[in-house]
Structure 1
Amino acid sequence: MSTLVHRRRFRLGHTVRVVSGVLIALLFLFPIFWMVLTSFKQQVDIFVSPPKLMFEVSFDAYIKYLERPDIIHKLVNTIIVAVGSALLSIVAGSMAGYALARIKLTGANAIGVLILLSRGVPPIALAVPMFLVARKLGLTDKHITLIVAYATFLIPYVMWLMRGFFLALPRELEEAAVIDGCSRFGAFMRIIVPLSMPGIISTFIFSMIMAWEELLFALVLTNRDATTIPVVIAGIAGDTDTGANWGALTAMGTITVVPVVIIALLVQKWLIQGLADGTTK
C-alpha cells in the first residue's frame, strides 16, 4: 500500500514539475513569439484591438532595413565585438578562475567575491571614464575599445563560473601531469583546459550573448564605424514622427535574435553538458 501511495505521489510530483516547466517556458517565450509575429504585420495591423493572429504577411520592415548597407556593416561589427570580447574574457577569466581554484592564496575567496561584486558597479559609472580615456588615446569608435570595455564586466562573470568547473576536477590529474614533467601552466593547458571544454564553451556562449545585446557602452564609445546593432535598434525607435516604428523595431529585433538562437542550437550539446558539469562535482 505504501509503495502504491509513493508511486502516485511521484507521478503527481512529476506531472506538476512538467506542467510548471511548460508554463514557465511559455511565459518566457511569449514575448519573443509576439515580437516575431509583429515583425510580419503591416503598420496598420500592429495597433488593432483586439490583436490579430490572422493577417496579411508583410516583409516591408525587413526589406526596408536590410536594403540599407549600414545594417549589414553594423551586424558584422556586433559579431566582431561579441566574439572578440568573449574570447578575451575566456582567456583572462579562465586563468583567473584557475588561480583562485588551485593556487593557495591568502584571502582567495575574498578576492573572488570582490571581483564578482565589481559587476554591481553601475555601467554608466564606467562608461564616461572609459570614453575620456579612449578619446585621449585616439581609440574612440574602434572595435578594440568596445572589446576591452565589454571584457571589464564579462571577466568577473567568466572567472567565477570557470572557478566552479575547475574545483569540480580532481587535483590528482594536475599532480600526475607535474610528476610527468609538466609545469603548472602546461598541466593547465594540456589537462585542465581539454577536460573543462564543455564549461568553456557554455561560458563563451553566455559571454557572447551578454556582449551581443549590450547597448550603453556601444552608445557612448562608438559613433559610426564600430556601432553595433543594439545602437541601430535604439535609433529606429525615432524613425517616424508619429511614435515608435514597431514594425521596424520588431523586425530588427528578430534579425538580432536569430544568430544567437542558431549558435545556441549548434552548440546545445556542449552547452547542456557544461551546465550539468557546473552543478555537480
Structure 2
Amino acid sequence: MNTTGILAAPRRRVRPGPYIRIVAGVVFCFIFLFPLLWMFLTSLKEQRDIFTMPPTLFFTPTLESYVTYLQRPDIWRRLVNTVIVAVGSGIVSVIAGGMAGYALARIKLRGARTIGLLIILSRGVPPIALAVPMFLVARKLGLTDKHITLILAYCTFLIPYVMWLMRGFFLALPKELEESAMLDGCSRFGAFFKIIVPISLPGLLSTMIFSMILAWEELLFALVLTNRKASTIPVAIQGIAGDTINGANWGALTAVGTITVIPVIIFALIVQKWLIQGLADGATKG
C-alpha cells in the first residue's frame, strides 16, 4: 500500500501579496529618498567629479565644500535664526490655531462654518501677495530684519493649517468631558486647558512638529522680510544658487542643503514617537 500521499504534509500556498507590498514599499522609498542620497553624494565630490559624464558613484570623497562653508560665520548665524523662527512660529501657531480650532469645534457661533472656510481659503492666497504688504508694514513700524516679524509672517499660513487639524481632534472628543468639568466649577478656559489640552497633547505635538518643518524650509517671506540679522538658511541656499557668474557651485549648494536637511531628520527621529502617536490618534478619532 502506497502511503506516500497520506504521510506527506500538505504544501502551503505562498501568497505573493505581502512580498509585492514589501517590494513596492522599498521601491517607492528609494524613489523618494534618492534625491537626498544624490545631494549628499554630490556634496562629497570635487567640482570635476560633479560634472563627470556619465555621473559616477565611485569617487574620492572630500569635505572641502563643508569646510569652506562651515567656516563662514553667517551660515551658523542663519542656522540659529532658522531654529529660533521655526520654534517660535510653531509654538505661536499651535497656541492660536489650537484655540481657534477648539472654538470652531465646540462653541456655537452663527456663521462659524463660513468663518472656518474663509480662514482655510486664505491658504490659497499667493504668498507674494502677502509678502510685499508685510514688508511695507514692517518697514513703517521699524520691524524689518527681526525674528518676531518673520515669526508673525509664518503664522499667517501656519495658523489655518493648525486650526483645521486640531478642529478634527476636538470634534472627536466627547463633549461630556468639558461639561463635567464646568459642572465642577471650571470655566470654559479652565476646562480647555485642564481637560482638553492634556488629552489632545499628541495631536498638538504632531501639529507643532509639522508647523516647525514648514517654517524651517520657507524661503519667500524670509527673503523679503530679512536682510542680515534674521536671515535664515533657505536664504543662504538661494544666495548660493543665484551666484552663477562662474557656473553653479553645486558642491556648496548640496553641502548647505545637506546641513539644512540633517537637523530636520534628527529632529524627526527624536520626536517620531509623539508624531506617530498623534497621527494614529487623529486617524482613529477623526
How high is the TM-score relative to the length of structure 1? 0.94
Tell me how far 1:8 sits from its aligned partner.
Answer: 7.0
Give 2:38's match in structure 1, choosing from 34, 50, 59. 34
Contact preservation (8 Å) 1:100, 1:112 = yes
Question: Counterpart of 2:155?
Answer: 151
Question: Counterpart of 1:4?
Answer: none
SS in 1 for 2:239: helix
Q: Is 2:244 aligned against 1:223?
A: no
Q: Is 2:179 aligned against 1:172?
A: no
**What do the CA deviations read for 1:177-201 (whole angstroms, capped 9, x no partner)?**
1122111111110111111111111
Q: Is 2:68 aligned against 1:64?
A: yes
Q: Is 2:254 aligned against 1:250?
A: yes
Tell me how far 1:104 sits from its aligned partner.
Answer: 1.2
Q: Following the alignment from structure 2 to structure 1, what is the Cα–Cα distance between the partners of residues 194 and 22?
A: 41
SS in 1 for 2:93: helix
Q: Following the alignment from structure 2 to structure 1, what is the Cα–Cα distance between the partners of residues 262 and 206?
A: 18
Answer with 47-56 or 59-68: which moved more.
47-56
Q: Following the alignment from structure 1 to structure 2, what is the Cα–Cα distance between the partners of residues 198 and 8?
A: 42
Tell me how far 1:24 sits from its aligned partner.
Answer: 1.9
**Residue type of the partner of 2:266?**
I
- RMSD of Structure 2 on Structure 1 (CA): 1.5
1:158-197 matched pairs, under 5 angstroms: 158-197=162-201
1:64-143 matched pairs, under 5 angstroms: 64-143=68-147
Q: Is 2:250 aligned against 1:262?
A: no
Q: Is 2:267 aligned against 1:271?
A: no
The gaps in structure 1 that reach 5 residues or longer are 1-6
**What do the CA deviations read for 1:18-73 (whole angstroms, capped 9, x no partner)?**
33322222211111111111111111101112211111111010000100111111
Structure number with bigger Rg: 2
Give 1:50's match in structure 2, choosing from 51, 54, 69. 54
What's the % identity of the aligned pairs? 74
Q: Following the alignment from structure 2 to structure 1, what is the Cα–Cα distance between the partners of residues 17 and 108?
A: 44
Question: Counterpart of 2:211?
Answer: 207
SS in 1 for 2:22: helix
Aligned residues: 274
Contact preservation (8 Å) 1:237, 1:243 = no
Q: Following the alignment from structure 2 to structure 1, what is the Cα–Cα distance between the partners of residues 42 and 209?
A: 28
SS in 1 for 2:204: helix
Tell me how far 1:279 sits from its aligned partner.
Answer: 1.4
**Residue type of the partner of 1:56?**
T
Q: Following the alignment from structure 2 to structure 1, what is the Cα–Cα distance between the partners of residues 22 and 110?
A: 46
